[in-house]
């Protein structure tokens, strides 16, 4: 019997040095759509994805730049999506985090392949040239992934400090993590305000702009001027956006989808937590499949499951034990879990 699955797509920062040759390792580099991506990139005067993925060594200046990272992650994630064994899994919905919304559109055929790479490459280039501000990440759960009032208070105080000295916003609700963003003055104030946690937070995300905040209104404006509504079409799978709204096949307003993708989605908080909540409550999947590259979204997904007591989960220890016994979250960026998703 098939298992029902919601597929989740990753955001920026998930293609690191450990992911180098991701396509080659998983024998995805010969997929026809990758040739199309490479052709688009060549015609745009950019490095082909196959060349980036097949490089001898990882270079952050090259692989983590917005114009390259976005297309790399898209290609790897969609290659994973096509590798899911549909004899084992019935994919009932798709969603993603931040950049993962564009990947969601591609997977659900709301963007044809040639339009998907056009949108993703165009947005990557706009962020590269016009991105401003930065992002940092800080937990509002404790080390066992249970709610922490002290950390929630610290985040609120940091946002107040950031808005006093500059501009500061909640960029992404990411399971048990808050992604905060602002201009340089706001970022500095938040970093100064937040107490050290778990020897690594607050952690500033390298090469990230103030995504999902009003600081990128000029990027949204440029996107509307560059990309037309005709890129979009009705999805063939249900999609869950960064507000928790479901876009259904044959029942989606394409004008509204266009406006959301290039407007609100860029300048307002992206609520990944809400999208996962809707995924589990509305679609009740047998499992969640996390496309690669990387597997960093596994923890935020687990934290969101815990926050709702999904299947009796109450802590990190509960989740870890369940994953060993009968994994609910299958991360394709992990070889052991990938083997459970492919033919």
Domains of the chain with CATH codes: 3-131+217-338 (3.40.366.10), 134-208 (3.30.70)
Query: Tens digit of pLDDT per residue, the chain (343 long)?
Result: 899 999 999 998 888 899 999 999 998 877 888 999 999 999 999 999 999 999 999 998 899 898 899 999 999 999 999 999 999 999 999 999 999 999 999 999 999 999 999 999 999 999 999 999 999 999 999 999 999 999 999 999 999 999 999 999 999 999 999 999 999 999 999 999 999 999 999 999 998 999 999 999 999 999 999 999 999 999 999 999 999 999 999 899 999 999 999 999 999 999 999 999 999 999 999 999 999 999 999 999 999 999 999 999 999 999 999 999 999 999 999 999 999 999 7
Q: Is 0.75 topped by the overall pTM?
A: yes
Sheet architecture: strand order including 134-139 = 203-204, 134-139, 177-182, 168-174, 270-271
> Tokens 């104030």 identify what position?
189
Distance of alpha carbon 170 from alpha carbon 188, whole angstroms: 15
> Residue 155 in contact with residue 140, Cβ under 8 Å?
yes
> Which residue, 266, 234, 14, 245, is CA-closest to 109?
234
């Amino acid at each position: 019997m098939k298992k029902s699955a919601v597929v989740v797509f990753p955001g920026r920062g998930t293609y690191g040095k450990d992911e180098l040759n991701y396509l080659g390792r998983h024998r995805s580099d010969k997929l026809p759509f990758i040739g199309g991506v490479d052709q688009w990139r060549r015609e745009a005067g950019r490095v082909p994805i196959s060349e980036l993925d097949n490089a001898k060594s990882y270079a952050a200046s090259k692989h983590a730049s917005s114009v390259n990272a976005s297309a790399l992650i898209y290609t790897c994630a969609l290659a994973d999506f096509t590798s899911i064994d549909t004899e084992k899994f019935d994919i009932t919905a798709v969603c993603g985090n931040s950049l993962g919304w564009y990947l969601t559109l591609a997977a659900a055929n709301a963007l044809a392949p040639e339009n998907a790479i056009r949108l993703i490459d165009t947005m990557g280039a706009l962020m590269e040239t016009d991105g401003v501000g930065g992002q940092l990440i800080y937990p509002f759960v404790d080390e066992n992934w249970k709610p922490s009032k002290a950390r929630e208070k610290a985040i609120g105080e940091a946002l107040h400090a950031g808005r006093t000295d500059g501009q500061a916003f909640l960029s992404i609700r990411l399971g048990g993590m808050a992604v905060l963003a602002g201009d340089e003055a706001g970022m500095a104030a938040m970093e100064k305000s937040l107490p050290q946690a778990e020897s690594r937070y607050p952690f500033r995300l390298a090469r990230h702009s103030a995504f999902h905040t009003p600081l990128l209104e000029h990027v949204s404006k440029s996107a509307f001027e560059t990309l037309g509504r005709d890129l979009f079409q009705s999805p063939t799978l249900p999609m869950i956006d960064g507000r928790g709204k479901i876009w259904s096949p044959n029942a989606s307003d394409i004008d509204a989808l266009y406006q959301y993708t290039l407007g609100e989605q860029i300048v307002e908080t992206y609520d990944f937590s809400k999208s996962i909540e809707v995924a589990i409550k509305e679609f009740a999947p047998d499992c969640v499949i996390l496309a690669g590259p990387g597997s960093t979204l596994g923890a935020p997904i687990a934290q969101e499951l815990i926050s709702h007591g999904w299947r009796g989960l109450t802590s990190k220890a509960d989740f870890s034990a369940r994953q060993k016994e009968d994994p609910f979250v299958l991360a394709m960026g992990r070889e052991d879990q990938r083997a459970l998703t492919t033919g």
